[in-house]
Structure 1
Amino acid sequence: MTAPSGPATVTGPTAEVPPSAGRRRRPLTAALPTGTALLFLLPAALLFGFFVLYPMVTALTYSLYSWRGTSQESFVGLGNFVQLFTAEPYATQVPRAFAHNLLLFAGSMVVQNSVGLLLAVVLHRRRRFKRLFQVLYTMPYLVSPLVIGYLWSLLLSPLFGPVNALLKAVGLEALALPWLGDPSTALWVVVLVTAWQWVGFPLLLYGAALGGLDASLEEAAELDGATARQRFWHITLPLLTPIIGTVSVLTFIFSMEAFPIPYALGGSTGSPAGATDVMSLLFYRTAFQSGSSNAIGTSSAIAILLFLVIFGLSIAFNKWFRRAERRLF
């Protein structure tokens, strides 16, 4: 009888290895020519150069000259920057506005890194209605900050605002305050409203990071007798260090650039009595409302100063978190 024909399988030391089996597969990026890669990057580079680099260089150039209206006059070097710290009202307003920005950053970071992380952990462990709550917490983050600010100014109105009406209805008349009219409370309202709107952003980042953690680490710690709190503080939290650093740096940048919510709650002057004044409001007033003949030079100096602070401290924060991450791992 004849054996049925078919594909023969050869085993043992005489088996032939297909020619492609011993080759190392080339990375996909290696197959892309440099010219083609640069061609794909060119549109983004052009947009970045036109909308970011060109305005920055222009602002730097403007800050080095004195101006009369829209006419450029003499080169003054760092004279406009010196004026920010020696001439009134800038000598008073610049440090105060910077202090408010830093306080806004500190308050937002504490709320977002605590409440955002707590909500992310709770939703990570919850299966039912998880997507619904994620959408609800994220919705304020998707709304314009200017709209959020105006809505909260109506909610906190001492005349018809529902917040004070609710406090009075439950017998807490002592807490029914003119929230945006009192310098001692106005800035804290800005901090809380800002943190409330942006809490959905760290919620999404922490939720994605928790979903990517290796569950076997926590399971091994649980088998070793570690409690839920110990597993969180000694395993989960250290593994989230890169995301904590990202959230902190981005929160710092957003806080230093804050404009819509302070503008909606306190106006361009940072009312009441400058209690809600921030650097972006100071830049806006100087450029468009000061009436100064050198408004272009002074406002450009404020913009460059703010950029240097944001850029320098962001780099410092990023390096500090990277060192902390290396020490942990």
Structure 2
Amino acid sequence: MFLAPAVIVYSLFSALPLVQTLAQGFFSADDSGKAAFVGLENFRTILLDPDWSAGFWNAMANNAKFFCIHMLLQNPIGLLLATLFSLKGLRGARTYRTLIFLPTLLSVVIIGFIWQLILSPLWGVGEKLMGFAGLAEWFAPWMGQEETALATLSMISVWQYIGMPMMLIYAALLAVPEEIVEAAHVEGASALRIFWQIKLPLIYPTLGLVTILTFVANFNAFDLIYSIKGALAGPNYSTDILGTLFYRTFFGYQAQVGNAYLGSAVATLMFLVILAGVGIYFVGVQRRLTRFAL
């Protein structure tokens, strides 16, 4: 009885649309506009047709790069910050935690607009700020170059969301039993050894959770790219990811006509990629973490 309201709302606004989208990917419109079952034809078009496959695999590769940058920067830095803030006697820890977590609460549109103002080569303040450190000659229109646009947007995303892994790992570190740490101190273990051999193994489940949340969020990403680069994800689709590809395919954009059936096929492929990643985590990682905990 108590679960029924949540189950009904979730079913109507999440589960049912998901099922309808997955089913729609197996249909297409005939000449009269009537939906007709075409099986895997839409998926064959997306994956193998020269007019569509290049865009899909480009978006998939960009999404993988987007995720890798987050894994290499966001989570390790979040772990480092959480470890520092968990130290006793650190002055201003609460203030620093709040300031670092604050961008996570801001609208992505605001974040995109702010960074456009900062990095714009015409009116941005980025070059002046770098000039104060003697690095003005290193400034470049990073978001306007194909080689650097995706990495720049990824680091903006890292800056905005680094507070999430930091707080999750911080909470896990606080939950480490103090008796174990004190016993290690009595035995003469250094702070670094205590972290690597005691604290870090105990927070492996949280690190695994942070990893899978990062994976799901990155392969569902859309809003930051759209707010800064638009649906075309320029320059020359160098920042195109699965989310922007789905948007253009389903709704259409400028000269591209939207196709709900092909768009549903793209959404289904996104779902399968995320499902595969989550499945690999639970089968290959979560079971080992459970055995380790036992």
Normalised by the length of structure 1, the TM-score is 0.83
The residue type equivalent to 2:72 in the other structure is V
Aligned residue for 1:97? 59
Answer yes or no: is the 8 Å Cα contact 1:149–1:260 preserved in 2: no
Aligned residue for 1:195? 158
The residue type equivalent to 1:145 in the other structure is V
Of 115, 134, 140, which aligns to 2:77? 115
Matches within 5 A, 1:15-26: none
Aligned residue for 2:3? 41
Answer yes or no: is the 8 Å Cα contact 2:118–2:125 preserved in 1: yes
Of 33, 47, 52, which aligns to 2:14? 52
Distance, in Å, in 2 between the alignment partners of 1:133 and 1:170 is 23
1:139-181 Cα deviation digits (max 9, x unpaired)? 1111122321221122110111111222244432331101111
The residue type equivalent to 2:75 in the other structure is N
Aligned residue for 1:252? 215
Aligned residue for 2:264? 300
Distance, in Å, in 2 between the alignment partners of 1:47 and 1:109 is 33
Q: Find out whether 1:267 has 2:230 as its counterpart.
A: yes
Identity over aligned residues, as a percent?
Answer: 34
Q: Find out whether 1:283 has 2:272 as its counterpart.
A: no
Aligned residue for 2:282? 318
Name the Cα RMSD after superposition: 1.9
Of 108, 118, 121, which aligns to 1:145? 108
Distance, in Å, in 2 between the alignment partners of 1:118 and 1:65 is 49
Answer yes or no: is the 8 Å Cα contact 2:250–2:258 preserved in 1: no
Of 104, 107, 124, which aligns to 2:86? 124
Give the match's secondary structure for 1:184: coil
The residue type equivalent to 1:157 in the other structure is S
**Number of equivalent positions:** 291
Q: Find out whether 1:220 has 2:204 as its counterpart.
A: no
Answer yes or no: is the 8 Å Cα contact 1:66–1:294 preserved in 2: no
1:91-125 Cα deviation digits (max 9, x unpaired)? 10111111111111111122222111111111111
Distance, in Å, in 1 between the alignment partners of 2:75 and 2:180 is 23
Give the match's secondary structure for 1:40: coil
Residues 1:160 and 1:70: Cα distance change in structure 2 (over 3 Å) = farther
Distance, in Å, in 2 between the alignment partners of 1:245 and 1:108 is 14
Aligned residue for 2:44? 82
* Stretches of structure 2 lacking an aligned partner (at least 5 in a row): none
Aligned residue for 1:11? none
Distance, in Å, in 2 between the alignment partners of 1:108 and 1:278 is 15
The residue type equivalent to 1:295 in the other structure is N
Aligned residue for 1:160? 123
Aligned residue for 2:168? 205
Aligned residue for 1:328? 292
1:185-235 Cα deviation digits (max 9, x unpaired)? 111111111111111111111111111111121222222222221111111
Distance, in Å, in 1 between the alignment partners of 2:187 and 2:64 is 43
Distance, in Å, in 1 between the alignment partners of 2:148 and 2:104 is 23
Distance, in Å, in 2 between the alignment partners of 1:217 and 1:126 is 16
The residue type equivalent to 1:317 in the other structure is Y
Residues 1:212 and 1:259: Cα distance change in structure 2 (over 3 Å) = same
Give the match's secondary structure for 1:89: helix
Q: Max radius of gyration: which structure? A: 1
Answer yes or no: is the 8 Å Cα contact 1:153–1:264 preserved in 2: no
